[in-house]
Each structure stands twice: as structure tokens, then as C-alpha cells.
Structure 1
Amino acid sequence: MDCADLVNDGATIAVTGNGGGMLEPDAIFAALESRFLATGHPKNLTLIHALGIGDGKARGISRFAHKGMVGRVIGGHWSWSPQMQRLARDNDIEAFTLPSGVISLLLRESGAGRPGLITHVGLGTTYDPRETGGAANEAAKLAVPLSEIVVLGGNKYIRYLPIHPDFAIIRGTYCDQTGNISGAEEAGDLDVYSVALAAKNAGGQVLAQVRETRKAEACYARLVSVPGVLVDCVVKIADQPQTHFRNDQPSVAGLPHATAPIGEAFEGLTLPQGARAIIARRAADEIIDGQSVNFGFGIPGGIAAILESRGSIGKIWVTVEQGIHNGRLIDGPLFGAAINPQAIMRSTDQFDYYSGGGADIAFLGAGECDAAGNVNVSQLGGDVVGPGGFVDISQGAKQVVFCGTFETGGLRVAAAKQTLSIENYGRIPKFVDQVREVTFAGALAAATGKPVTYITERAVFQLTATGMELIEIAPGVDLQKDILDRMSFAPRVSENLTLMPAHCFVGDETCAKSSKSKALGATHV
């Protein structure tokens, strides 16, 4: 493939895409992988990606996960490539993680010739240059830092230093004869323009993958994602699938065409089960009608289905970091897409919205929590995971709700007759003395008065000025044996300790209705 032959040893490559195959230019990735395996070139690449890309097996970022092919990776989310995680764990690469929004916006700022990205996002976390600065393994800690602290108007910010890619690898649905790229039939736009801009204005080249070419009059100007002036090479892949599910759905691209029954097209549209259902039901109770709500990947991804079952999903405004507004969110491997979304924005614009405080409430996962209310989702079980949009969203949202099981590794619980039964404890504690990495800084949130709640299947905590406070426990559990004895620290127990709502424990076949309400400031039509 001619495009793959252009990439030279030592090049810096910025790519776009998202889990589940959204906007994934995998044919170009595969050609680069084949060339490396056959010739040993290109080697020692620097790879930059904001979101997780791949299928957890061979696709996406895993195409680059060969020893010697990459020397440095700056990634927002790594879990879709166990092979790349292994290279990081073995220190075969310099592994950096940064917030996804930071990476996308930094590429935009770099392409615009500005002095990097100056932002509050990352302060007080592992991404603060006074901590690790995002260096996720020993090899990265010996490398040149990616950021610095600056003071403006008496306030401290992080300045993430400019990135100048030699190549951008992007994808669209089709292009015209002058190279204008349209993603009109894709599940999202993501950061495709910022990735292309950063490379082109640095004197690099933009390589694009599309499904088809069209005449200019059929490539509507309003639907162009990347103008041809930025594009150097286009590869046509006639069987390019919309997602890994290979059943192209106009409704996922927001197009008003007939579609196959949803259940035949996608997985991950069913109600959550087990502990995940309990947590999602309790989390859903935190929502007030009319709020702008963000759902994160993992356990929080099941909350939308609970709201839908209650008939209340239409009373809020739902967003996810990939740029989707409203619609029926798809859970699981294709998280970040939706059936019949009402709007599809660039993820860079979405992160601007989050960073500025647009989300009223955000529901995010929790890998580890400690007494100070810190949360770690970025380094778990010895693996580099990365934060995804977690930091951008949690630091900007007006209220944050963390959702996760109380422990993990073999945990089994059952809910029936409004009671929780713990059938098997998890081997791995999640409430620890000190989190391995601070992806969310409890002290910083407490100092600003941000409401923060931590919801598990057997206990609910809130953040106070002095740390974690236990405020609810599940009916049927023993406070000392099932909760306090299984934590590495002693939380304050509220004088008003109550039981979690009974409707959270009705069994997976039922979702009871429970919601708060307030008047909408404006009507959402």
C-alpha cells in the first residue's frame, strides 16, 4: 500500500479512532504492521492517540504493538491493546498517558501554532508535572517531560508542550477528487480534523482511509470533516465497515434512513445485570430532570439503560466524550456511539464543553479509592490503562458520581426481595490505603466544594473536607464484616447512616421507578 510506504523510521504518528471500530483506519494500520513484520521498517515510531482504538485482539493500536516498531506511545486509553500494555509493562517503550481531551486539544493547539495547551485539566493528579507528568513506566520517567507548570493571573496551570507529528492517519466515509474527506456515515467525527491539522501544519503528511470516492457535487460541503488541502494520500477500502460489528447502520451516523432492528445490529443494548445493575440503579437516583449528564465507560455505561427502563432518559441531556448528544447509547465494546443521536460533535468541541463546566453531573468508573477520596483508573493490576476522558470530565463537572464494585476478582452477589446477598468476596480490594495513581484528586475537589459520591453494590460514600464518609449500606449486609473489615482504611461513618434504597435490590428482571425532578429552564425538543 503506497500510504504505508511513506512512513519513515523514527516518525511521529498521530491517529484517530475509538473502541468498537469507530473511525478506525485499520487498513492503513495493517499495512504498516505487515511492512514492519516483513522488513523491520518503519521502526522506533512515536504513536499518539487520544481515545482507545482496537478490539482487544489484533486491530487498532495492536497493529503497532511489536517490539522495535514503536519507541514511545502517548495514549489516552490503552485497554483495547493488551499487547501494547505488555510492551509498557516490560519497559520496551516509553509509555505516557494523558487525558484524552488534553491530547486532542493539544493537537489542535499545536496545529494552530499556539504554544501548546494551557489548562487546569490534570492539576493535582498524576498528570501534573510536579507528579509523574503522565510518565506511566520507568522508561518514560527517564524521558523529556511533556508538560510544565505556568502561572497566569496568579493561578497555576499546566502547559502541555506542543506536539508536531510527521504523519496523521485518519478515516472518513468517502472523499471527492480533490481529497475532501467526509465522515457522513461514520459513528462520530472524534478529533479527525485536529489530528490532520497538527501533522499538516508541522510540515507532515496526512494519510486518509475511505470507503469510496464520489464526485464533488455528491460530497456535500457541509459534510466535509477534513478539507482536501490537508490531505496527501487517500486509500480506498471498498469493504470498510462502519464499526467492528460490520452491520452498517445509518441510525448510528445520525442519518434518517430505515435500519435493521437494533437487537440484530449491536450488542450491549440490554439492561445491566448483577452488581452492575445494583450500582446503576442507585446511581440513577442521583440524577435530576433537566440536567446535562455524562456517562463514562464501564459500569456507568449501564445507567442509561436503567433510565430508559424507567422512562426517564428523555428528561435529561446525555453526552459522552466522543461527541454524541442524546440518542440510545450503546454500551460495551462500542461505547461512545448511539442509535439515533440528536447531535454528533467533534470530540474536541465536546471536551471544551466539559472543561468549561458544561456537565451538571458525571458518572465515572472507579478502580481504586483511598481515604482522601482519591480515585485511580489509569494504572491497574500492573497495566497501563490510561484515563480516557476521565480527568477532563471529572475536573470540569459540577458534580461527580464514581461507580464501581466494592472489590473485584471473583466477587459474586445476588439481589432479591430488596436485599443483597454476598455469595463470594472479591480477592482484590478497591478501598486501599493509597491509590497507585491519582487520576482524581479528592483534596482538590473537597477544597472547591464539589459534590462527590462513591457508589458500590453494598455501600455508598461521600467526600467531605476530611475525606471519605460512609452514608449508606445495602440491606442484608453486615456493616463491620462486609464493609469496614474489608477496607484498608477506616472511613468516617455518618451519624445518619441509612440503607440504600430497596428498589436497587429487586433482582435483574425488574427496574423500579425512582427519580428526582426539577423544572427545566428551557424545553428540550
Structure 2
Amino acid sequence: MNNRFISAHAAANLIKNGDTVCTVGMTLISAAESILKALEARFLQEGAPRDLTLVHAAGQCDRQRGNQHFAHPGMTTRIIGSHWGLAPRWMAMINNNEVEAWCLPQGQMVHLYGAMAAGLPGRLSPVGLGTFVDPRIEGGRMNARTREQPNLIEHVTFRGEEMLFYPAIPLDVVIVRGTHADEAGNLTTDEEAMKLEVLHAVLAAKRYGAKVLAQVKYRVASGSLHPKKVTVPGTLIDAIVVCDDPEEDHRQTSSWAFDPALCGDIRLPASESAPLPLDLRKLIGRIACRYLTPGCVINLGTGIPNDVIGAIIHEEQLGDQVTITVESGIYGGQQTGGTDFGIGRNLSAMISHQDQMLYYNGAGVDITFMGAGEMDPHGHVNATRLGASCPGAGGFIDITQNARHVVFCSSFTAKGLEIACEQGELRIVHEGEVRKLVPQVNQISYNGELARAKGQTMHYVTERAVFELRPEGPVLVEIAPGIDLERDILAQMDFRPLIAPELSVMDSALFQPQPCGLAARVSRS
């Protein structure tokens, strides 16, 4: 069985023209760089493999590496994924109509792998109804080239309820990554910073007789792996590549080649990190954190939420009252951010990506904090297509559709906005060039009308104003101290909002550098 250990070049040669290839990872975590780089090199040298379909659940880039190795015209002609916010080459190809591009909710994709593995024709789910994923709107199509194609997703009625049907996607190759492989091919993921959906993708591959290619850091003797630590049994893996340059091609994350705290092997002593400076992002996070409640389970989305809210909770000594989760499957601890989204140190738990999405889609979290790009008078929110940028949905639709309370975190305007917090008041130093409160969002990522119909609580939080979604639509309920309602808010919007009779001014403590007393506020809620 040792002949399953092959070079990266040999692994790349196993992929044929026209294959449908599935890769597993998130940001750069678990990216099989040795195999992906060899595949790209083969295409650039030989022009093959070409006409591939790339399938991926989460975004898998750090702006330079990851599944961007597939991003060449002719190499990939169709991509079915959820997120490209850290993949500039993919976003350029999508915008330039150089690839057929479908965006599906991240959670539905990882659940679809399980359905495929079970031999089912696809997955039924209400997730995505009323958003751009709904075939009655855009059907998940991300460019003009894709709009020429027939529907991939179907709108159906099942037992009297509206659903979307996400069809099975026959696979030819699945590429995964692990830590150890023994000589029987058994694979562990001990040093990975996430559990991900590795086994489910592999089982989906086996349903179609697809090849499973794995990259590992270590080759070990048969019998040396504890059976409970085996993520994928060797009988399910066809070829294994041992990375010859782990520092470069088997990095634990984009920023760290390996940190044992990120995979839970060690726990670091509690440290008092310096508070974040009171800038625009922290101010928005502070305002949003007022909606925390004792004992709540929250989700942090990418961007402002993941980058600042965990730090604010730590600074305000709220850690014992709040359970932080991220879509990758992590609980508690201190989250990293930016290109290392989805990981953390000193975690209380780490579950698989698929299991976490089952929780988000079923029980749902108490509060999700999400980034946003636009909102319109209907309460629709766009976070998936912003001008020439098409980051896609990621887990946004799965999580916001099912959370009990959605708190969007966004600057009021974009591109050039500068603020100052002075003596408990907010001052707009320079207004942004791009307006975010628009007559009609560019793409419906969150459907405000459906949210209102089911009574979901939603707030749209900015540095100067807070809107609350009410039965009549989004209503302006708060403004920052120092802000002029007409000049700084109404004149910077492209629609006239409803204004609450009880319009209030935010607490000036939020606009001062010292901790603002959130713990006392939460304990009273």
C-alpha cells in the first residue's frame, strides 16, 4: 500500500481535463499548497488540466495562496463556492466574466457533502429563500456569463413549505490536508487549526468513485496513530503527498507556520493585552456590544465583528457572560482576525465545520454580529456584491437567516471616512465618498421583508446612527452625541428613513477611550 505515497507532481497528473475538483479548507487553513501549486505549474507549462469545475465550501485564500492556484482562464471554467473576499484573482475573473460563477451558502455546501455521501440527490433547505441565491431572484449567479446558464438551484414546495433544492454535484477529485499519514494511509488532522468538513467531503467523493488526494506533514509507521485520532481511514484515500517544505506549503495559517496554541495542544497563560485604540471599527463594535445579554451564545462574522468584538468583550470583562462562536467551529478563547479568520487560542471547544453549521441552521445563535455593505428602505442588506468586489456569502446567509437577533456592523459611508472621538462626542472629520444607505441594494444577502414577517430582531449599527428593523421597516432609533441629524445622517442617505418618535442620543461613554461599562449594562439586561 506504500505506493499511495507520491510526489506533488504525480498527484497533479491524476487530474484530467473537465474534472470537477473539490478542495477543503478555510482562509489558508488546511490548504494543500504542495498539490495546488503543482497543479497550477502543470497548467502553466502544459495547458492541462483545463476546463475544470472547482467546488469549495468556504473561502480558501489569503490573497496570494490557496485555491487561487486554479484562477486561470481556461484552467477553470466553472466555480461553485461561497466566498472570495480574500481571493482577488477569483474576484477579477468573476467580474471579467472569465469563469461561470455560482455562489451558494457555505453551510448548505458542507451539508450538501453529507447528502451526497449518503447517496441523496441533493439537499432541501429554507436557507437562501428571498436572497440572491433564490432562483426567483438571481439563483446564486455572480456574473453575466452565469446568467446565461439554466438554474442550478431549484425553488420547490415540500409538504406545504417553500424550500430551495441544492442538487448533488458529482465529483471527480477531492483534495484534503492532514497532519500525519501512516503507511496504511490513515490520516489525522492533529495540528490543523480547524476540524473542517474533511471526512464528509471524502465520503462524498467515494459516492462518485472520485479520487481522494491528501497532503500531510508527516509520514509515520503503520499502527502508530491512535484510532480515535484518525480523521479519514486509509482505505478512503487514493494518493498522499508528504509536504517537503512545511514552512511554506503546509502552514497552519497564513500568519503562522505552526503555533501549538491554535490547534489546542497548549493553553497560554492569561495575558492582559493592550486595549484596541478607539478607532472607527472599535467604536462600531462597542455600539453593537450593547445588545449582548447574560448567558448569550453569539456568532462573530468576518470583518469588524471578528476583528474587534472579542477584544471588546475581553476588555470590558464580559467573557464569563458570553459564549463566542465562529462558523469554523470554534468556541470561546481569543480569536485571530483578518486573513486568519476562524481560528483562536485558548478555545473551550472545537467542533467540525459541518456540525457548527448544523447548530447555526437549526437552533440558531442568540445574536450574530455581521459585517454589511448596504441597506435599503425594505431592510434588505447587501454584504455579498459591493461595487466591483464580489466576496460572496460565506456563512452569512445560513447564520443571519436563523439567528434570533442580527446585528449588522457597518460604517455609515465608505471610502475616505475619517472620524474623531472628542470629549464624549463624535465628529466627522472627512465624509466617505460611497453611500451605504441606498434606495435599492445591489444584491439581497439578507431579506428584511422576510425577517420582519417572522419577527426577527435586527439592528443596523454604524458609528453615528443605529437603525432597528420594525414591522414598518428600518427605523432610525439612535444617533451619536455631536452628530447633526440633518447634515451628518439624512443628507448622507439616498432615502428618507423612518425616524423613531423616541429617537435618542447614545451614551457619551462609548466615545471615550477608557472602558465604557458594558459589563454593568449587560448584567442589567
TM-score range, shorter chain: over 0.9
What RMSD over aligned residues (CA atoms) do the two structures have, in Å?
Answer: 1.8
Where does 1:110-189 land on structure 2 (aligned, <5 Å)? 110-189=116-195
Q: Distance in 2 between matches of 1:172 and 1:499?
A: 52
SS at match of 1:380: coil
- 8 Å CA contact 1:126–1:439 kept in 2: the answer is yes
Aligned residue type for 2:276: L
SS at match of 1:209: strand
Shift in alpha-carbon separation, 1:114–1:213, aligned structure 2, 3 A: same
Structure 2: distance between partners of 1:101 and 1:137: 22
- In structure 1, list runs of 5 or more residues that go unmatched: 264-268, 521-525
Q: CA separation in 1, counterparts of 2:111 and 2:341?
A: 21
Residues 251 and 259, structure 1, Cα contact 8 Å, conserved in 2: no
2:17 is equivalent to residue 9 of structure 1: yes
Query: What letter matches 1:42 in structure 2?
Result: P
Q: Structure 2 CA distance, aligned partners of 1:144 and 1:207?
A: 31
- Measured after TM superposition, the shift of residue 391 of structure 1 is 0.3
* 1:93 matches 2:99: yes
- Secondary structure in 1 aligned to 2:140? coil
Question: Which of 452, 465, 469 pairs up with 1:463?
Answer: 469
2:357 matched residue in structure 1: 351
Residues 441-472 of structure 1 deviation map (CA, whole Å, 9 limit, x = unaligned) = 00000001111001000000000112110000
CA-CA distance at 1:246 after TM superposition: 3.2
Matching residue of 1:250 = 260
Q: Which residue of 1 aligns with 2:518?
A: 514
When the two structures are superposed, what TM-score results if normalisation uses the length of structure 2?
Answer: 0.94
Structure 1 residue 199 displacement after superposition: 1.5
* Residue of structure 2 equivalent to 1:413: 419
Tell me the residue number matched to 2:283.
278
Q: Deviations over 1:284-314 (max 9, x none)?
A: 1110120111010001111110010011123
Matched with 1:503 is 509
Secondary structure of 2:21 counterpart: strand
CA deviations 1:403-452 (Å, max 9, x no partner) are: 01001000000112111010000000000000011000000000011110
CA distance in 2, matches of 1:464, 1:259: 45
Q: How does 1:214-293 map to 2 (within 5 A)?
A: 214-238=220-244, 239=246, 240-256=250-266, 271=276, 273-293=278-298
Aligned pairs, number: 511
Q: Which runs of 5+ in 2 are unaligned?
A: 1-8
Secondary structure, aligned partner of 1:42: coil
Find the counterpart in structure 2 of residue 397 from structure 1: 403
In 1, the alpha carbon distance for the partners of 2:211 and 2:328 equals 25
- 1:11 partner amino acid: D
Contact 1:61 1:84 in 2 (8 A): no
Q: CA 1:413/1:356 → structure 2, altered by over 3 Å: closer, same or farther?
A: same
Secondary structure at the residue paired with 1:352? helix
Following the alignment from structure 2 to structure 1, what is the Cα–Cα distance between the partners of residues 183 and 294? 48
Q: After superposition, where does 1:194-209 map in structure 2 within 5 Å?
A: 194-209=200-215
Cα deviation digits, residues 82-113 of structure 1 (max 9, x gap)? 11111111111101111111111112211211
- Tell me the SS of whatever aligns to 1:300: helix
Paired-residue identity, %: 38
The one-character-per-residue Cα deviations of 1:58-104 (angstroms, maximum 9, x if unpaired) are x1121111111100011111021111111111111101111111111
* Counterpart Cα distance in 1 of 2:254 and 2:372: 27
Distance in 2 between the 1:56 and 1:519 partners?
Answer: 43
Report Cα offsets for 1:330-379 as digits up to 9, x if no partner.
12211100102111111111001000133111000111110111001111
Q: Within 2, Cα distance between the matches of 1:270 and 1:519?
A: 24
Q: SS state of the match for residue 420, structure 1?
A: strand
- Matched-pair contact (CA < 8 Å) for 1:407–1:428: yes
- The answer as to whether partners of 2:29 and 2:251 remain within 8 angstroms in 1 is no
Tell me the secondary structure at the aligned position of residue 252 of structure 1.
coil
**CA separation in 1, counterparts of 2:43 and 2:269?**
40
CA distance in 1 between counterparts of 2:518 and 2:374 reads: 28
More moved, 477-486 vs 310-319:
310-319
- Judge conservation of contact 1:189–1:225 (CA < 8 Å) in 2: no
> Is 2:262–2:343's contact at 8 Å kept on the other side of the alignment?
yes
Alpha-carbon distance in structure 2 between the residues aligned to 1:128 and 1:479? 37
Q: Determine the structure 2 residue equivalent to 1:47.
A: 54
Question: What amino acid sits opposite 1:2 in the alignment?
Answer: A
Farther-moved stretch of structure 1 (402-411 vs 380-389) = 380-389
Contact 2:254–2:339 at 8 Å: present in 1 too?
no
Q: Secondary structure of the residue that 2:235 maps to in structure 1? A: helix
Q: How far is the alpha carbon of 1:317 from its aligned partner?
A: 1.3
Give the distance between the partners of 2:390 and 2:272, measured in 1 at CA: 34
Over residues 32-67 of structure 1, what are the superposed CA-to-partner deviations in whole Å (9 max), with x where a residue is unaligned? Answer: 00000000000011001111111212x112111111
CA distance in 2, matches of 1:215, 1:416: 64
Cα distance between partner residues in 1 of 2:260 and 2:90: 33
Summarize the Cα distance change of 1:475–1:33 in structure 2 as closer, same or farther, 3 Å threshold.
Answer: same
Distance change (3 Å), C-alpha of 1:398 and 1:261: closer
Letter paired with 2:284: I
2:44 corresponding residue in structure 1: 37
Judging changes above 3 Å, is the alpha-carbon distance between structure 1 residues 273 and 210 closer, same or farther for their aligned structure 2 residues? farther
Aligned residue type for 1:10:
G
Q: State the AA in 1 paired with 2:293.
A: I
1:154-175 alpha-carbon deviations (Å, 9 max, x no partner): 1111110111111001111111
Task: Write out per-residue CA displacement over residues 255-280 of structure 1, whole angstroms, 9 at most, x where no aligned residue.
Answer: 136799998xxxxx962641111111
2:445 is matched with: 439
Report SS of the residue matched to 1:313.
coil
Secondary structure at the aligned position of 1:445 is classed as helix
Structural mapping, 1:63-78, within 5 Å: 63-78=69-84
